[in-house]
Amino acid sequence: MKLAVFVSGSGTNLEAMLDFGIPVSLVLADRDCEALNIASTAGVATILLDRRHYSYSSGQKWLDEDRKEFTKAILGMLKRHEINLIAMAGFFSILHQEFFSHSRPHIINIHPALLPEYKGQFAVRDSLTASNKLTGSTIHIATEIVDDDRYIIAQTKVPILTNDTLETLWERIKTEERRIYPKILQSILSGDINLDAIVQRGNKSSFSDKISESL
Ligand code: GRF
């Protein structure tokens, strides 16, 4: 399998993968970001497809056709680099559904909450303002449904402390993410985790419990 990591931000999950020895063939970003520097320093090929160049139909707002064009450009890059496994690690663009029908089930994402709780970009803030005392992170197969909770591969729990701020809580979540994401990718690459089987099973419970316990 040839792995590409999709990024938009600080890239600490990407760095953890590289430190762990995960063979990353390509890093693709939708904006200029620190993750690209991490990739370049490690000698990994990078592609920057600035999403702002794809918001031409309305000037500013992203319309469906912009999303489609952007997605088409990404699919072209992946084909050129013969990528067949994608790990999203803080990638902020929502791609067109064509992307998922094309690559499913070989797209993995990490979300900073215990799905199905707290979907969306404000997951950490939402978990902090809720009365819950527990949150965490979820690694799952990504589909056209944003933060889809049907195909969970692994989850890790993180307590919410009374004096937590957005920053302290998110950093503790990310510490856990950096611990589990490389291990899960290694298991996918070695064949110990079979993504097709997870989709066929279509039920998150028994499989994810087993994996989470062994992390
Ligand atoms: C992580 O918390 C991940 O769950 C979310 O974006 C963050 C990425 O952090 N999707 P980093 O760029 O890897 O530091």
> Is 17 close to ligand 1, i.e. is its CB under 6 Å away?
no
- CA of 137, closest atom in ligand 1: 4
Q: Which has the higher per-residue pLDDT, 3 or 131? A: 3
- Nearest Cα neighbor of 11 from 107, 25, 28 is 28
> Is 111 close to ligand 1, i.e. is its CB under 6 Å away?
yes
pLDDT digits (tens, 9 = 90+) for 66-83: 899 999 999 999 999 999
Predicted confidence band at 167 (pLDDT cuts at 50, 70, 90)?
Answer: very high
CA of 97 to the centre of ligand 1 (A): 22
Instruction: Return contacts of 43-48, CB within 8 angstroms, 24+ apart.
Output: 44/18, 45/81, 47/77
What pLDDT, on the 0 to 100 scale, is given for residue 56?
A: 67
The residue whose CA has the least distance to atom 10 of ligand 1 is 90
Tell me the average pLDDT across 143-158: 95
- pTM of full prediction above 0.75: yes
Predicted confidence band at 211 (pLDDT cuts at 50, 70, 90)?
Answer: low
> Is 177 close to ligand 1, i.e. is its CB under 6 Å away?
yes
- What is the set of active-site residues? 111
What lies within 8 Å, CB to CB, of 36 at 6+ separation is 7, 11, 27, 29, 46, 48
> Is 136 close to ligand 1, i.e. is its CB under 6 Å away?
no
CA of 55 to the centre of ligand 1 (A): 24
Give the separation between CA 200 and CA 48, rounded to whole angstroms: 34
CA of 25 to the centre of ligand 1 (A): 19
> Is 105 close to ligand 1, i.e. is its CB under 6 Å away?
no
